[in-house]
Amino acid sequence: MKIAVQIPVLMSAVLLNAVAGGTSAATVSDAQLQALDERIHALETESAKLREQAAAALAAADAARTELEKMKANLQAAQQSQATAAVAAPAQSSGPSAGGANGNAFNPGIAVILNGEYAHHSLKPDNYVRAGFPLVDGTGPGPQGLSLGESEISFAANVDDKFYGQLTLSYHDDNGSVGTEIEEAYIDTLSLPDGFNVRAGRFFSNIGYLNSHHTHTDSFVDRPLAYQAFLGNQYGDDGAQLRWLAPLDFYLEFGGEVFRGENFPTNGANHSGVGAHTFFAHAGGDVGTENSWLAGVSMLKAKSTQADDGFSGDNTLYVADATWKWAPNGNTKDGGVTVRSEYFLDRRDGTYFTPANPPVLDVNGNPIDPALFLPWTGDRRGLYLEGVYRLNRTWDLGYRYDKLWAANNGPLASDFDPLRHSVELTWRNSEFSFFRLQLSHDEPTRNTTDNALYLQYDVSLGAHGAHKF
């Protein structure tokens, strides 16, 4: 800066000298002129030198400024990358030590469901009969008064890179027979290519909608009448499942299962212990951001011997299910409506015996006195339709219509078709707990009515569940 100011000063000094020389030109000698000329020349040289120096200094200043800016930028970049580095995860995270002393680090995720209820029935549960549909274990109106519902504990974890395993133990209390049972115990594949999944072990079949869902995710205290009548609330058995998901823009899944055939609606583990098999297809997708749907068709085919409802022979069950969910902005936990329906067609071709008085069998499993057997051939049907309105994250309100159509002929023929209406109100404190009030008006036969009130609590502890849609 200083140098730049000096230059004009210097220049004006030179000029001044030149003008001064000019005014006295008439009186000066050649020698003086010569001397003056030399001086001007010297000054010019000096000024040029100074100009050069000034330019050099300017260039140096420029260079310094560039350097400074570069340093500033570097500093900023350094600060930036420092800020980024400070938040970046260390490359070597402090995992378990090489000694591997912590044996609990790989414990499976443990989830506990606690569930209890109070029920009041206007019709004594012991006197409850459903026209055309014998009650099998665990179904029906449930106990009067206070009882522990299905409380369960499950363990789940990835086994290795190829398998996932889950074990669910449940406490149950069916008509006084208390016990713990293995509800589910299965492995899933994780690494089959192209959308294939295989499951093996004991598990709930993927037929219908509700069947593969655990009851604590239901919107009502008890299962629909059709699930009670045709699947004993929920069909699970020992078997294997293959599913394939099509590589499409929407959801399209096909699958099939083979089961031992030991649990209702089948029994007896026929066909050398492969007594039941299923097929199912589900499709689903979104309509805009606020609507989602899921629909499916399923079939269960089994050969049964003395099932809980007294049936022996070939039974086939067809299920069609449809679910529609609407929620503002797709926030299903904060509001919206869920409508769901499932339709059942149950086809029997076999014989019936009174379960309370089973016939004596010969060594081949055939009844010694065939007269005790009645032919049971024909169809029964069932349906439920439910709608749940979610007011907000805390409250929801629902209505369910239940209907069963009994057979017109055969051992269980009835000209009355059972019917039930239920309403429920649920209060949730968090994702992990809810309390539910349910009122039901049930007409199981032409002459009986059961008005019921249920109060239920349901909480989950431990590992955070990830539920199916």
Partner 1 sequence: MNKYTFTVFLLLALVAPHADALSVFACEPEWGSLLHELAGDTIQVDVGTSALQDVHVIEAKTSLIAKVRKADLIVCSGADLEIGWLPQLIRQAGNSKVASGPGYFLASDQITTLEKPSSLDRSEGDIHPQGNPHFQLDPNRVLAIAKALDARLVELDAAHAAEYQKRLADFSTRWSAAIVAWQAKAAPLKGRKVVVHHLSSVYLNTWLGMEQVGALEPKPGVPPTSAHLASLIEITKSSNALAILHAAYQDPKPGEWLSERTGVPSVTLPFTVGGDDKSKDLFGLFDSTIDKLLAAVK
Would you tell me which residues interact with partner 1 (CB under 8 A)?
76-77, 80, 83-89, 161, 164, 188, 190-197, 243-245, 247-252, 282-286, 289, 292-294, 325, 329-334, 392-394, 429-432, 461, 464-469
Shortest Å, Cβ 288 to partner 1: 11
Burial 116-153 (b: 16+ CB within 10 A, else e): ebebebebebeebebbbbbbbebbbbbbeeeeebbbbb
Shortest Å, Cβ 384 to partner 1: 21
**Which CB sits closer to partner 1, 187 or 423?**
187
**Which CB sits closer to partner 1, 293 or 311?**
293
Separation CA 223–CA 458 (nearest Å): 15
Q: Is 83 helix (H, G, I), strand (E, B) or coil?
A: helix
Shortest Å, Cβ 166 to partner 1: 10
**Which CB sits closer to partner 1, 161 or 415?**
161
**Which CB sits closer to partner 1, 314 or 334?**
334
**Which CB sits closer to partner 1, 194 or 369?**
194
Shortest Å, Cβ 258 to partner 1: 19
Separation CA 180–CA 112 (nearest Å): 14
Q: What is the full DSSP assignment across 294-334?
A: EEEEEEEEEEESS-TTSEEEEEEEEEEEEEEEE-GGG-TTT
Region for residue 424 given its phi and psi (left: phi exceeds 0; alpha: psi -120 to 50; beta: otherwise): beta
Q: Which residue has the tokens 């049907």?
A: 381
Q: Which residue has the tokens 């749940």?
A: 388
**Which CB sits closer to partner 1, 255 or 444?**
255
CA-to-CA dists, residue 172 to 45, 146, 176, 179, 185, angstroms: 111, 14, 9, 6, 17
**Which CB sits closer to partner 1, 78 or 374?**
78
Shortest Å, Cβ 76 to partner 1: 6
Shortest Å, Cβ 161 to partner 1: 6
- Peptide bond before 367: cis, by omega within 30 degrees of 0? no
Q: Which amino acid is at 220?
A: F
Shortest Å, Cβ 142 to partner 1: 29
Shortest Å, Cβ 213 to partner 1: 12
Ordered alpha helix ranges (H), 118-214: none
Separation CA 332–CA 260 (nearest Å): 38
**Which CB sits closer to partner 1, 89 or 368?**
89
Structure tokens, 257? 């299962």
